[in-house]
Structure 1
Amino acid sequence: MKFLLLWSDVLIFMLVIALVSFFYTLRNDPQLSARWRQVFGNRLGMISFVIMACYIAVALLDSVHFRYALDRVEGQSSDMVSYDNRVHSLLDLGMGNMGELHERTYSAPFALISFEKQNMKDANGNDIRDFPPLLHAGKHLAQPSDRGQDILQQTLLALFVGLLISLVVIAPQWWWLRHSSLPWHAAWATQAAVICLFSWALHLNSLYHVLGTDLGGADVLYKTIKGIRTGVLLGTLATLIMLPIAVTLGVAAGYYRGWVDDAVQYLYTTLSSIPGILLIAASVLLFQVYIDINPDIFEVGLQKADARFVALCFILGVTSWSSLCRLMRAETLKISQLGYVQAARAFGVSNPRIIIRHILPNTVHILLITFVLDFSALVLAEAVLSYIGVGIDSSMASWGNMINGARSELSREPAIWWTLIGAFFFMFVLVLSANLFSDLVRDAFDPRTTTGKAKA
C-alpha cells in the first residue's frame, strides 16, 4: 500500500498534538488546573467531553489514508507498481467491508427487499414488476420470517462483545484513576455506552443495512460515520483560523485606540455589511475555478475534494471573525482602564508585555466560550452551505451533503426519511455535547460567574 497525506490530515494531527500538549501543560498552572477541574468535576462536563473525544478519535482514524497496490498485469515491469485510485483509511479497515455493500437503490432500515419496484422475471420466465431482494442484507437467514428473532439474537451478541471490549478499555483507567475525586464513573459509563453502540451498529450492519441505503445503493450508516471527520475538522479548523485574526485586531483596537481602533472598526463593519453567504459562495467558487484549471496538481480525486474542503475552512474562518473582534475590543477597553494596568504603564512596562501578561489572560474565558460555541455554529453552517451547493465536494462524505440530498427524498410518497435521520442524529449529538461543555467552561472561566458564586 501507499500512504497518502492530505492537507486536512496534517491539520488534524497538529490539532490533536496541540490538544494533548495543552492538557499536559495544565499541571504547571494551579489556577488554570483548578478551573478545568471545576469543568470536569461536573458529571455532565465529563460526559460531554468523552463524547467529543470519541468524535475526535473517529476523525483521527479516518485521517490516516492509503491506497492499495493493484495486481500486476501481463507485460508490466516488476519495478513498476500501480495503485488504486480509491483512497482508504484506518477507519475503513475497522468497519470492514461496510463501504462495499452497495445495493441497486434505496432500501429501508433492516429491510430485506428493495424500496422500489423493478422489472423482474418470475419462476416461469414472465416479466413482472416487484420488489427485488437485496444483494447483501439478510443473506444468512434461512427464511425471511426469521429476521426479527435474528436481529434480537445478533443484538445480544453485539452488546456482549461491546461489554467485553468496554471492560478491556475501562479496567486500566479504573486502576489508574480509582482514587481520583473527579466523577470518572460518568466517563466510564459513557465510554461503555459508546463502545456498545458502535459494536452493535458495526455487527448488525454487516448483516443488514441498519440505516438503509441511499439512491446510489450506498450504506447510509457508513456515510454518516465517514461524515464525522468532515464535521469535526470544519468546525475546529475554521474556528482556529478565526481566533488569531479576531484576537489580534480586537486587542489592538481596544488597547491602542485612536486611529487603530477606527481602522479595525471600519474593517469589521464593512465585513459585517456584506451578506455572509454570498461572500462565502463567491470565495468558494473562485477557488473551484482554480482547481478546475489546474487538474495536474492533484493525483487522485480525493485530493481535489480535500483542497476545496481546506479552502472552505479558511474562508469560513476569515469571514467569521467580526463578532469575536467586537467582544475582544470591548473587553480590552474595560481591562485597560483597571488599576493594575494603569500601574504597569506608570512603572514603564512595555505595551506588548502588558498585553501578554495582563490583557490576554483576562480574556481567556471569552476565547474558550467563543471557540466552543462557534464550533457548533460552523458544523451547522456546513449543512446550510451544502444545501445551496457551495459546501463540501460531493465526493467527500459530509452531513451537509446528506441533508442536501434528503430534501427531495422527503417529498416522495412514501417518504425516504432515514438519510436525514442518520445525519441529524450524529450532528445533534456533537453540537449538543459542544454546547453543554461550553456552558460549563463559561461557568468556570467567566470572572462574573465565578464572583457571583463566591458571593452566594
Structure 2
Amino acid sequence: MLKLLWTDILFFILLAGFVVLIVRARGREHLRRPWRKVARSRSAVVSLVILLAYLFIAVLDSIHFHPRNQGENGKSQYQAEVISVLDSWMTPIRTRVEKTYSAPFSSYAYAKEMIRQPDGSQLWDYPRLQYGSAHLADPEHEKTADILATGMKGLGEGGLIWLLSASLVIVWRSRHDRIGLAESLKRIALGRTEIPWRAVLLTLFLILGCSGMLGELGLRYHVLGTDKVGEDVFYQSLKSVRTGLLIGTLTTFATLPLALGLGILAGYFRGWVDDVIQYLYTTLNSIPGVLLIAAAMLIMQVYMARHEDEFASLALRADFRLLFLCLILGMTSWTGLCRLLRAETLKLREMEYVQAARALGVRQGVILMRHILPNVFHLVLISVALDFSSLVLAEAVLSYVNIGVDPTMESWGNMINGARLEMARDPVVWWSLAAAFLFMFNLVLAANLFADAVRDAFDPRRAE
C-alpha cells in the first residue's frame, strides 16, 4: 500500500515544477540560447549525468509503501513498517546486519572476542562474519579471485545496460540529424557533435559499470564495511542521498517565495515598503543562523513530545523533523537572494519599457509579472544552482552538532557524527567517514561545476 510522506509529496511537486519550467523554456529563444551554451560544455553535461544518477536514487527512496507479508491465517496483510522502493530493492543488503564493525571486504569482525572451538575450548580471536564472504570456505586464499570474478560479472551487467542506452542515443541522433547509423556512431566516437555525447556516454559507462560491480559485490561482501551496530555502510550511504537532495531542493521550495516576493516588491515600490522589507531581512541577518536553527529545532522537539500520538512511527518523526529543518533553513537563507533581487529591480523599474507600461496605464501586477519577474529569473536560477551545494554541506554540519535531521535517519551528517568518536580507536575505524565524504564530495563537486556553467551561460556580461 502506497504511503507518501510529506517530504515525498513536496519533493515530487518540486520536480514537477522543474519539468514545467523546462517545457516552457523550450518555447522561448532567450532561455533556449543560454541552455544550449550549457549543453555544449563538457564539464556541465558530465556533472548533469552524475546529478541525474543521484536524483534517480533519491526518487527511488522517496516512493514509500507498506510491504505485504503472509499472516497467520494464510492471507497477505500490510505491515506497519514503511519502506521505500530503494529499501525493497536493496533488501538483501539491508537485512544483513553483523554484530559490530567490520572493514570493507573483510571476512572477519573488527574486534576480537572469545570464540568457542568445536572441541569445546575457547580462543580469543577475530570471529568470522555472519554474512560477509560467508560463502567462502577459505577467505585468505579464495577471496581475491572471487572479488575479481564477481566484480567482472557486475561490470558486464552494467555494460549491457550501457550498450542499450548508447544504442538508443545513436539511433536517436541518427534520426535527428537524418544520417546513417554508422555516421552517427562515428560523429559521437570522434566528438564531432554539438552536445558532447562522447563524454556523456563515457560518464554513463563509469556509473553503470561501478553500480553493477558494487551491486554484485554487495550481495556477498560489505564493500564499505559495517558500522557500530553492524549495518552496511554502503546501504547507509545510498540512503543518505535522498536526505542530502531533499535539504537542497525543499529548502529552495521555502526560500524562493520569500526572496522573490519581498525582493521584487522592495525594489519596485520603494518608499515605506522598501524600508519595512529592509528592516526585516537586516534584523534576521543580525541573528546568528546556527542559534536560530537550534532554537527552532528545540521548539519542534517540544511540540513532538507534547503530541506523541501524531508521530506514532519513527518514519513519521524523522520525516517531520526533516521537513521542519528544510523550512527553517529556508527562512534563514532567503535574505541574500532578496537583497540581490531588490537591487536588480531598482534598476529594471527605470528601464524604458517599464516606464512606457506605467505611462500606458498597465496595472502594477501585470508589470511585475510580465516585465520584472522574467528579467530577474536568471539571477534566481544562478543563485539556486550555487546555493544547492552549500545547503548539502549545511546538513552535514548541523547533524554533526546534533541539531540536524533525526538521529534515526540516514544522512551523511549522521554518518560523520557517528564516526568522529571512532577516529580515536586503535586501529582506526575510518570507512564510515570516508564513505560519507566520498558520496558528498561527488555530489557537491558535480553541483558546483554545473552551477558554474549555468552562471557563465546566463551572465549577460559573458553573452556571445
Matched residues in 1 for 2:14 and 2:263: separation?
Answer: 24
- The answer for the alignment partner of 1:202 in structure 2 is 215
Partner SS for 1:97: helix
Partner SS for 2:2: strand
- The answer for the alignment partner of 2:113 in structure 1 is 118
Matched residues in 1 for 2:47 and 2:323: separation?
Answer: 27
Displacement of 1:172: 1.8
- The answer for the alignment partner of 1:243 in structure 2 is 256
- The answer for the alignment partner of 2:325 in structure 1 is 312
The letter of the residue matching 1:158 is G
Task: Say if 2:387 is the partner of 1:378.
Answer: no
The letter of the residue matching 1:104 is K
Displacement of 1:428: 0.8
Mapping 1:271-420, distance limit 5 Å: 271-420=284-433
The letter of the residue matching 1:140 is H
Conserved 8 A contact 2:14-2:253: no
The letter of the residue matching 2:200 is A
The letter of the residue matching 2:361 is G
Pick aligned residue for 1:184 from 159, 183, 197: 197
Displacement of 1:319: 1.4
Matched residues in 2 for 1:140 and 1:82: separation?
Answer: 34
Of the structure 1 ranges 174-183 and 264-273, higher mean CA displacement relative to structure 2 is found in 174-183
Matched residues in 2 for 1:69 and 1:299: separation?
Answer: 20
Residues 337-392 of structure 1: CA distance to partner in whole angstroms, max 9, x if unpaired? 23332333333333222222222222122111110121111111101111111111
Residues 199-256 of structure 1: CA distance to partner in whole angstroms, max 9, x if unpaired? 1111111111110000000000000001111111111010121011011111111111
Displacement of 1:71: 3.3
How many residue pairs get matched? 446
Of the structure 1 ranges 90-99 and 215-224, higher mean CA displacement relative to structure 2 is found in 90-99
Among all aligned residue pairs of Structure 1 and Structure 2, give the percentage whose two residues are the same amino acid: 47
Displacement of 1:47: 0.9
- The answer for the alignment partner of 1:104 in structure 2 is 99
The letter of the residue matching 1:354 is I
The letter of the residue matching 2:115 is M
- The answer for the alignment partner of 2:161 in structure 1 is 165
Residues 317-351 of structure 1: CA distance to partner in whole angstroms, max 9, x if unpaired? 11111111111111111222233323333333332
Of the structure 1 ranges 178-187 and 264-273, higher mean CA displacement relative to structure 2 is found in 178-187
The letter of the residue matching 2:146 is D
Residues 280-320 of structure 1: CA distance to partner in whole angstroms, max 9, x if unpaired? 11111211221222122234220111111111111111111
Conserved 8 A contact 2:49-2:200: yes
TM-score (structure 2 length as normaliser): 0.92
> Any unmatched runs of 5+ in structure 1?
none
Displacement of 1:26: 2.4
Task: Say if 2:138 is the partner of 1:143.
Answer: yes
- The answer for the alignment partner of 2:184 in structure 1 is none
The letter of the residue matching 1:219 is D
- The answer for the alignment partner of 1:51 in structure 2 is 50
Matched residues in 2 for 1:55 and 1:424: separation?
Answer: 15
TM-score (structure 1 length as normaliser): 0.94
Matched residues in 2 for 1:196 and 1:346: separation?
Answer: 62
Of the structure 1 ranges 132-141 and 174-183, higher mean CA displacement relative to structure 2 is found in 174-183
> Any unmatched runs of 5+ in structure 2?
178-192
Matched residues in 1 for 2:135 and 2:34: separation?
Answer: 54
Displacement of 1:89: 1.6
Conserved 8 A contact 1:364-1:445: no
Conserved 8 A contact 1:4-1:66: yes
The letter of the residue matching 2:314 is G
Task: Say if 2:238 is the partner of 1:231.
Answer: no
- The answer for the alignment partner of 1:90 in structure 2 is 85
Of the structure 1 ranges 335-344 and 238-247, higher mean CA displacement relative to structure 2 is found in 335-344
Residues 256-282 of structure 1: CA distance to partner in whole angstroms, max 9, x if unpaired? 111111101110111001110111111
- The answer for the alignment partner of 1:5 in structure 2 is 4
Matched residues in 1 for 2:311 and 2:349: separation?
Answer: 50
- The answer for the alignment partner of 1:73 in structure 2 is 72
Partner SS for 1:142: coil
Task: Say if 2:451 is the partner of 1:438.
Answer: yes
Partner SS for 1:382: helix
Conserved 8 A contact 1:108-1:212: yes
Of the structure 1 ranges 64-73 and 243-252, higher mean CA displacement relative to structure 2 is found in 64-73
Partner SS for 2:227: coil
Of the structure 1 ranges 338-347 and 98-107, higher mean CA displacement relative to structure 2 is found in 338-347
Task: Say if 2:132 is the partner of 1:128.
Answer: no
Matched residues in 1 for 2:245 and 2:173: separation?
Answer: 28
The letter of the residue matching 2:89 is G
Displacement of 1:184: 2.2
The letter of the residue matching 1:62 is D
Displacement of 1:82: 5.3
Matched residues in 2 for 1:72 and 1:356: separation?
Answer: 58
The alpha-carbon distance between structure 1 residues 14 and 290, as it changes in their structure 2 partners (threshold 3 A), is: same
- The answer for the alignment partner of 2:190 in structure 1 is none
Displacement of 1:398: 0.8
Of the structure 1 ranges 266-275 and 64-73, higher mean CA displacement relative to structure 2 is found in 64-73
Matched residues in 1 for 2:56 and 2:64: separation?
Answer: 15
